[in-house]
Amino acid sequence: MKTLLAATILAISLAAPASAAAQLSRGMAADPDMTVVRTATEKYRDVNVALAEGYVRDPMNLCDTAEMMGRPAEYGVMGIHYFRPDLLGITGPPNPRVSGTGTHTDFSQPSILIYEPQADGSLDLVAVENLVFIKAWEAAGNTAPPTFAGRSFDRMQDDPATALDEAHMFEPHYDLHVWLYRENPRGVFAQFNPNATCQHHQGGSHAH
């Protein structure tokens, strides 16, 4: 599985748009407000639009749940991640984890889109996300986590003392979810949403 993940990520990284450098620098702009973010991302409710613009599905075909990352089941789920390798700055396969050099934090063009699988096989956009790897973020001269709308990004890293992978095969990183398309009783910036589900996910890992 890890070999497949490595090969897939390498292939999609090499196919990243030529404008990646310009896109990565957009994270330095002022934060857009929620209305701007929703207007900019509404088109991604059609996953085919996302695919056409360079987003790719998680090669491991996971529907991430709180339990999978060592959190209480009642926290809910994240969902299925579609990401832009160029915006994350991914330049090669995991070694041994996925890493990247990007510092993109602009939510008007999020680096990650999150979908909920539906019973009919379709996907429902529920949230958008940005992620930066801590090593790259600090190498760029930052000493505090990135923020959006006054909220600091969450820190995620694996605890080697546990059997679970709290960072789902990623190097230590900061990320922030914005649940624009699904009401979240835990808050619009929570990592997980009990109002979303992975019960219709086909393949990969998930929990009902």
What is d(CA 127, CA 112) in angstroms, rounded to the nearest whole number? 9
Q: What pLDDT score was predicted for residue 99?
A: 92
207 pLDDT above the threshold of 70: no
2 pLDDT above the threshold of 70: no
Q: What is the pLDDT of residues 37-50, one digit of tens each?
A: 999 999 999 999 99
Residue 52 CB coordination number (10 Å): 10
User: Which pLDDT band, with edges at 50, 70 and 90, does 26 fall under?
Assistant: very low
- Chain-centroid distance of CA 189 in Å reads 13
Q: Between these two residues, 79 and 95, which has the higher pLDDT value? A: 79
67-71 average pLDDT score? 89
Q: Is 186 exposed, middle or buried (0-12, 13-18, 19+ CB in 10 A)?
A: middle
85-104 average pLDDT score? 90
Q: Between these two residues, 131 and 59, which has the higher pLDDT value? A: 131
What is d(CA 4, CA 87) in angstroms, rounded to the nearest whole number? 22
Q: What is the pLDDT of residues 110-120, one digit of tens each?
A: 999 999 999 99
Nearest to 172 by CA among 149, 138, 122: 138
95-116 average pLDDT score? 94
User: Which pLDDT band, with edges at 50, 70 and 90, does 21 fall under?
Assistant: very low
